[in-house]
Amino acid sequence: MTPPRRRHTTRGVIHCAATDPHWHGPVDIETIRRWHVEERGWLDVGYHVYIRRNGVIEIGRDFGASGAHAAGYNADSFAICLEGGARAVRDDQGRFVRLEGVNNFLPIQFEALRVMMLSAMIKYPELDHWVGHRDLPNANTFCPSFDVEEWVRQEFPDGPREELRAYYGSDQQLDLFGD
């Protein structure tokens, strides 16, 4: 069984792995895939792209397939996940209590995110709207631990699509991934 294909890609959803870099140590896409497939019983890792703390971009689920990352929005959205985004809260004895959301991402992760967003928009001409997981209606999560819409406004004052056109002269000249 394979995940259904997306007919449209109009939205990008940013996630975090909700990992504490100190408490969990490095967490790669294969670890996330194991969590999603073995522990949650999904068909594959839920995200399309994963950005490590060193900025390396790891490929997750088949780009054309519906992801498993935001209930109600998987059929028309592309999912990018950043490693980190949480902190382990401990009690007086140092025992783990819970994870809380924190923007502990590194500058190079935001650089990679920027590149990945523009690349995805070249691949998907309908993709114009970027949100954080927590910004979706009925999402009960701290993910991705930062304000995506505010960050997008700062990074792309004229909007991501306009930046793409200004940079490449067209927003469809370069397809980094092919079909």
Residue ranges that bind Zn ion, judged by CB under 5 A: 15, 133, 143
Least spacing, CB of residue 73 vs Zn ion, in Å: 11
Query: Do the Cβ atoms of 6 and 75 come closer than 8 Å?
Result: yes
**Which CB sits closer to Zn ion, 141 or 165?**
141
| Residue 41, C-beta contacts closer than 8 angstroms, at least 6 positions apart | none
**Which CB sits closer to Zn ion, 86 or 122?**
86
**Which residue intervals of 45-175 are DSSP H helices?**
107-123, 148-155, 160-168
CA–CA distance, 171 with 143 (Å, rounded to integer):
29
Least spacing, CB of residue 80 vs Zn ion, in Å: 10
Least spacing, CB of residue 165 vs Zn ion, in Å: 29
Least spacing, CB of residue 61 vs Zn ion, in Å: 14
**Which CB sits closer to Zn ion, 87 or 133?**
133
**Which CB sits closer to Zn ion, 28 or 165?**
28
Tokens of 114: 């920027």
Least spacing, CB of residue 168 vs Zn ion, in Å: 30
DSSP code per residue over 20-72: -HHHH----HHHHHHIIIIIT--SS-S-SEEE-TTS-EEE-S-TTB--SSSTT
58 CA to centre of own chain: 11
**Which CB sits closer to Zn ion, 6 or 164?**
6
